[in-house]
Amino acid sequence: MSLVNLLIIFFLISSISPLIQRFLTEQRRLMTIQAFERSRGSRVILLIHRQESISFLGVPVSRFISIEDSEQVLRAIRLTPPNVPIDLILHTPGGLVLATEQIARALVRHPAKVTVFVPHYAMSGGTMLAMAADEIVMDENAVLGPVDPQLGSTPAASVLKVLEDKPISDIDDQTIVTADIARKAIRQVQKFVRTLLEDCVPKRKIEPERIDRIIEALTTGQVTHDYPISVEEAQELGLHVVVGLPKIIYSLMDLYPQPSMGRPTVQYIPLPYENRPMLPESIKE
């Protein structure tokens, strides 16, 4: 066999191999989702944004909750019979308010139980989706985040702080207009979050006396927008959070790896050690 033929075969294998690998991974995902659905008797929906921050030609590319996501999730909810529970697996930094509210409203309107699973984090809009569920199941180290509205890269609450700290005569017209928008944005988010927390189908999930405290803590900019709300803090606020994810969810997350952009920054042997590794004789001495 000539060198040219070997090169052709090599390039054919190189081009086909990723396609085969992608197909096998997709089949493993479907099998794992089906196994989870059978064990829970539910419809499983995944909303996973793995490529939160990558760089393409020096331009940041972000993955977040988008209109396309809402279209797909709403379709999945429509295809779910009213008596079938929904299990939503969330891994997201948040996203568009419009898309998030559409998904959250659909989850609240679903008659059967809705459970949100958070293996790592569900920030901003992800937290809003979690509050639409009847139960939030989290890894003990997973986090949620505030849902205070942002005007571009500026927190709405911080814009209003300008009006409090400076005389109105010293503030330019554009800032005053922005502050008016900020006030409306906060009011709109608070109204929507209240709607989620007051949901009582199939049963009430939040005690009425805790709702105002949750809204105040999550929507008024008391902390930065990327502040991680731990399981303990979420429970203290009054959110219906349970610790302990089914192991199959971790297996499912492994099938949605972060795209490799070079050498791994974290590496380990992915097997549990039965015993502590033995130290070399020279170190023992």
pLDDT exceeds 70 at position 54: no
Which residue pairs, CB below 8 angstroms and at least 24 apart, start in 77-83? 77/45, 77/106, 77/107, 77/110, 79/43, 80/43, 80/110, 80/112, 82/110, 82/111, 82/112, 83/111, 83/112
Which pTM does this prediction carry? 0.85
In terms of C-beta density within 10 A (0-12 exposed, 13-18 middle, 19 or more buried), how is residue 44 classed? buried
277 or 170, greater pLDDT? 170
Average pLDDT, the chain: 88
Q: Where are the domains of the chain?
A: 1-145+228-256, 146-226
Instruction: Return the pLDDT at 275.
Output: 57
Which tokens in the block code for residue 121?
A: 């984090």
Over residues 226-240, the pLDDT tens digits come to 999 999 999 999 999
21 or 247, greater pLDDT? 247
| pLDDT, mean of residues 110-118 | 96
The CATH number given to 1-145+228-256 is 3.90.226
**Using the 8-state DSSP alphabet, how is residue 95 labeled?**
B
pLDDT exceeds 80 at position 273: no
The SS3 of residue 109 is helix
Phi, psi for 14 (deg, rounded to 5): -65, -35
pLDDT exceeds 60 at position 283: no
